[in-house]
C-alpha cells in the first residue's frame, strides 16, 4: 500500500509570509500527527488529529495551526513566518494513538512521510 | 509536561563494537516505541514495548523497558555500517494519546 505522502517536499519563503503544508496518510489511518524537526531541538510534537478533531497540541505558538479533512488528509499552516521556523516538518499517520494493550499491536505505530523542508529567508 | 531524554547525544563506534542508547522519562510511561532515522530520511518504526521489564530482540538489536516503566534502552551487538542513523525513543503517557519523542542518539560507524 502507498505510504504517507507530503507536499511540497521543499519550500522557500520569506519572513512574514504564510505557508500551508499537506499530508496524505496511509489509507485507513485516521490519526495524523505533525512534528517539527530541527538539528538543535530534535522531534517536537506540533499536534495530532483523529477523525477531524485535534486531540493533542504541543507547545507551539498560535501561528501554527492545522486541520484534518473527512478523508483523513491533513494540512498544517504557519502564519507570519519567522527565521526560526526553518525546519523539516514531518507528518505521521497511524490507525490511532494510545495503547491497546499488547506489544504486538500495531495500532499506534507511526508511519512517517518524507517531510517538507521549509526554509525561511 | 512529560520529558523524555536520551543519552548519549552522539556515539562513534568502530564497526563490530557494541552500541547502547538510553532513554529516560520524567513520568511513568504506558508504552515506549523506538524509531530509526537514516541520514536524509524519515523516522521508521522499530518496535513497541508495553510491559514492565519487557525485553525484545530483533536480530542484533535488544530493547528493554524498565521495571518502573520510566526508562528504556536499545543495545546493538556487533554494529555494522547499515546501523548508521539516529535512534529515537518515544514515550506514550497514560490517558493521553500524545507520543513524546526523546532527543535522539546519533550513531556513526567507523569502518
User: Is A109–B48 a contact, with Cβ atoms under 8 angstroms apart?
Assistant: yes
Q: Which long-range contacts link B80-86 to residues 24+ away (Cβ below 8 Å)?
A: B80/B15, B80/B109, B81/B15, B81/B109, B81/B111, B83/B19, B83/B107, B83/B109, B84/B38, B84/B39, B84/B108, B84/B109, B85/B36, B85/B37, B85/B38, B85/B39, B85/B41, B86/B36, B86/B37
Mutation site, B10, B93, B98, B102, interface A, largest A CB count within 10 A: B98
A107 class by beta-carbon count within 10 Å (0-12 exposed, 13-18 middle, 19+ buried) = middle
The per-residue pLDDT for A111 is 94
Round the average pLDDT of chain A to a whole number and report it. Answer: 91
Whether omega before B81 lies within 30 degrees of 0, making that bond cis, reads no
Residue A77 has pLDDT above 70, yes or no: yes
CA dist., res. B64 & res. B70, Å (int): 11
CA dist., res. A78 & res. A8, Å (int): 14
Dihedrals phi, psi of B8, to nearest 5 degrees = -80, 170
The per-residue pLDDT for A1 is 67
Q: Spell out which residues of chain A touch residue B100, defining contact as CB-CB under 8 Å.
A: 45
Taking only the tens place, the pLDDT of each residue in B56-98 is 999 999 999 999 999 999 999 999 999 999 999 999 877 766 7
Give the residue among A40, A25, A52 at the shortest CA–CA distance from A88: A40
Residue A108 has pLDDT above 90, yes or no: no
Question: β-strands B61-65, B71-76: how paired?
Answer: antiparallel
Give the other-Cβ count within 10 Å of B53's Cβ. Answer: 11
Taking only the tens place, the pLDDT of each residue in A1-34 is 689 999 999 999 999 999 999 999 999 999 999 9
Confidence bin at A98 (pLDDT 50/70/90): low
User: By the 8 A CB rule, do B86 and B103 touch?
Assistant: no
Beta bridge partners of A23: A6, A74
The per-residue pLDDT for A96 is 74
Q: Which of A20-24, A57-61, B26-30 has the highest mean pLDDT?
A: A20-24
Cα B86 from chain centre = 9
Q: What percent of chain B has pLDDT over 90?
A: 85
CA distance A112 to chain B (A): 6
CA dist., res. A104 & res. A32, Å (int): 21
The per-residue pLDDT for B49 is 92
CA distance A87 to chain B (A): 13
CA dist., res. A34 & res. A88, Å (int): 11
Compute the average pLDDT of residues B8-12: 95
Confidence bin at A106 (pLDDT 50/70/90): low
Amino acid at each position: 500500500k502507498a505510504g504517507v505522502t507530503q507536499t511540497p517536499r521543499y519550500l522557500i519563503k520569506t519572513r512574514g509570509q504564510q505557508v500551508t503544508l499537506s499530508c496524505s496518510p496511509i489509507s485507513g489511518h485516521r490519526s495524523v500527527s505533525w512534528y517539527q524537526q530541527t538539528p538543535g531541538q530534535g522531534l517536537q510534537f506540533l499536534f495530532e488529529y483523529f477523525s477531524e478533531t485535534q486531540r493533542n497540541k504541543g507547545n507551539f505558538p498560535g501561528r501554527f495551526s492545522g486541520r484534518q479533512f473527512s478523508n483523513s488528509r491533513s494540512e498544517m499552516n504557519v502564519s507570519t513566518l519567522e527565521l526560526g521556523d526553518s525546519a523539516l516538518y514531518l507528518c505521521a499517520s497511524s490507525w490511532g494513538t494510545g495503547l491497546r494493550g499488547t506489544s504486538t499491536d500495531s495500532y499506534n505505530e507511526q508511519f512517517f512521510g518524507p517531510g517538507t523542508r521549509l526554509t525561511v529567508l | 509536561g512529560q520529558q523524555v531524554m536520551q543519552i548519549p547525544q552522539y556515539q562513534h563506534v568502530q564497526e563490530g563494537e557494541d552500541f547502547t542508547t538510553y532513554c529516560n522519562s520524567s513520568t511513568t510511561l504506558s508504552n515506549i516505541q523506538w524509531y530509526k532515522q537514516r541520514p536524509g530520511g524519515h523516522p521508521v518504526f522499530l518496535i513497541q514495548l508495553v510491559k514492565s521489564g519487557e525485553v525484545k530482540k530483533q536480530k542484533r538489536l535488544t530493547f528493554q523497558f524498565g521495571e518502573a516503566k520510566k526508562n528504556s534502552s536499545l543495545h546493538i551487538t556487533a554494529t555494522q555500517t547499515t546501523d548508521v542513523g539516529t535512534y529515537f525513543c518515544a514515550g506514550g503517557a497514560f490517558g493521553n494519546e500524545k507520543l513524546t519523542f526523546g532527543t535522539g542518539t546519533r550513531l556513526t560507524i567507523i569502518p
